Structure 1
C-alpha cells in the first residue's frame, strides 16, 4: 500500500483548518450543505457529462488504486526474470513451462507462455507493446475524469457564489443578516478551489504516475521475455534490465 495520497490530502486539509483556527475562524463555518452539494455533485455531474459510462466506471474503480494501490517493484521483477533466464539457459526454454504457473504477474506470465509456445520474437514484441499502449490509454482515460473535475470545480464554485450574492441582494433590507449571507456566498468558491487543488487534481496526477510506473514495468518485462526467448546469458539479461531501473534501484539490484 502507498499511503501518500491519503497522507497528502489529509495534510492539506489539516493546514487549511489550522490556518483558519489561527486566524480566529472555525472550520465548521465552511461546512454548509448547499455549497457542498453544488460543488461536489455539480462537479461530478459536469465531469461525467463529457465521459462515456464505461469511462466513469473505470475512473471510479481506479480510486482504489489512487488511495490504496502499490506500484509494482521493478527490482523484484528483474530478479524473477534473471532466475527464469538461468533456468532457460540451463534446461532449455520448454523447461519454463512449469515455472510459468508460479508467476504472479499476468503480463509476464502471458509473455513467457507465448515465448514457450514458439511465437515469433518480432510478432511477440508487437503484441506485448500493443497491450502496453492499450493499458496506457485506459489509464489516461481513467485519470482524465478527475482532471476534468479539477477544472470544473472552481467555476462551479463561482456559480455558487453568484447564486449566494443574488440571495444577498434580495435581503438588502435586512442589514443585520448581510454579513452572514455574504460569508456564506463565498463558501462555494472556497470549496470549488479547495476540492480542485486538494482532491481532484492530486488524484488525477497520482493515477497518471502509477500508470507510468506500471507501463515502464511492462516494458521491462517485454525486454526480459525476449532476452530469455533468444537464449541471452543471465548476466547480460540482468545488466540489460538494470538499465530500465531508476539509479537507486539499479545500484541496490547490482549490490
Structure 2
C-alpha cells in the first residue's frame, strides 16, 4: 500500500475537520447538504459517462486502487537479473536462457528473453518491446485522463449547484431570514466540488502519472539490457551501462552491497 496516498488523504480530511471544529460559531451540520453533494458527485459522474465509453468509466475503481496499491519494480534487482542473464548467455550461449524462463515473473522481461532465444533480429525485438511500452503508456494515460476528467467536472458542477442555490434563494427574497442560510447552502456545492477535485481525483491523477513514469524507467532499462544480451555485450560493461540509470544514492548503495557480497 502507498503510505503517502493514505497519509495525504487522512491528513487532508483531518485538517478540514479540524478547521471546522476550531472555527468560531461553526458546526459540522452546517457543512452537510445532501442535495449539494448529489449535484457535485452525480453531475461529475454523469458528465464522465458522456465523455468516456461505459466500459472505461466502470473501471474507475480499479484506476483509483492503483493509487493505493501500485505495482512497483525496483531498478536494482532488475539490473542484477539482466546481468545474470547476460553472464549465462555469454558463458553457455543465448539458448541457455530458455531454461530460466520459468523463473521470470515479469512478463515484459519474459517476452524479450523468449524473442532472444528464438533468434529474433535485435532491431525487430527492440521495436516489439517499445511497441509494448507504448501500449502500456496509452493504458496509463486513459486512467489518468479519467481521473483528470472527474477532477475537472466536479468544480464545474459545484458552480452549477451554487447558481441553482442562488436562483432558489433569490426566488424567496420575501423572507429575509432565509437569505443567510440559503446563501450558505448555495456555497456548499462550490466547496464540495473543490474538495472532490483537489483532495481526491486530481491528486490521484498526479500519482498515477508518477508511477507510470517510474514504470517506464524500469521498462527502458529492461529494453536496453535485453538488446545488449542479444548483441552479446560483456556482462560487466552491461552492468555499468545500466547502473547509470540509477539515482546516485541507489547506485552507491548497490556498489556497497556488491562489495560486501564480494568480501
Structure 1 match to 2:203: 202
Distance 1:131 1:226 in 2: 15
3-state SS, counterpart of residue 29 of structure 1:
helix
Pair 54,196 (structure 1): closer, same or farther in 2 beyond 3 Å: same
Moved more, 149-158 or 166-175: 166-175
Distance 2:105 2:44 in 1: 39
Distance 1:72 1:235 in 2: 22
- Per-residue CA deviations over 1:7-33 (Å, capped at 9, x if unaligned) read 112211211221222213233432211
Structure 2 match to 1:226: 227
The residue correspondences of 1:1-255 to structure 2 (distance < 5 A) are 1-24=1-24, 25-255=26-256
Pair 242,26 (structure 1): closer, same or farther in 2 beyond 3 Å: farther
- Per-residue CA deviations over 1:9-68 (Å, capped at 9, x if unaligned) read 221121122122221323343221111111111112112311123432444422221122
Structure 1 residue 114, shift from structure 2 partner: 0.7
3-state SS, counterpart of residue 101 of structure 1:
helix
Distance 1:58 1:105 in 2: 24
- Per-residue CA deviations over 1:205-226 (Å, capped at 9, x if unaligned) read 1111111111111111111111
Structure 1 match to 2:261: none
Pair 212,113 (structure 1): closer, same or farther in 2 beyond 3 Å: same
Contact 1:2 1:70 in 2 (8 A): no
Distance 2:94 2:29 in 1: 65
Unaligned residue ranges in structure 2 (runs of 5+): 257-263
Contact 1:242 1:250 in 2 (8 A): yes
Pair 245,237 (structure 1): closer, same or farther in 2 beyond 3 Å: same
Distance 1:214 1:97 in 2: 25
Unaligned residue ranges in structure 1 (runs of 5+): none
Aligned residues: 255
3-state SS, counterpart of residue 72 of structure 2:
coil
Q: Post-superposition, which runs of at least 4 consecutive aligned residues in structure 1 deviate over 4 A?
A: none
Distance 2:151 2:14 in 1: 20
Contact 1:112 1:225 in 2 (8 A): yes
Q: TM-score, normalised by structure 2?
A: 0.91
Distance 2:12 2:155 in 1: 17
- Per-residue CA deviations over 1:129-185 (Å, capped at 9, x if unaligned) read 011011111111111011112111111101101111122122223333332222111
Contact 1:59 1:143 in 2 (8 A): no
Structure 1 residue 115, shift from structure 2 partner: 0.6
Structure 1 residue 120, shift from structure 2 partner: 0.3
Distance 1:133 1:173 in 2: 62
3-state SS, counterpart of residue 119 of structure 1:
coil
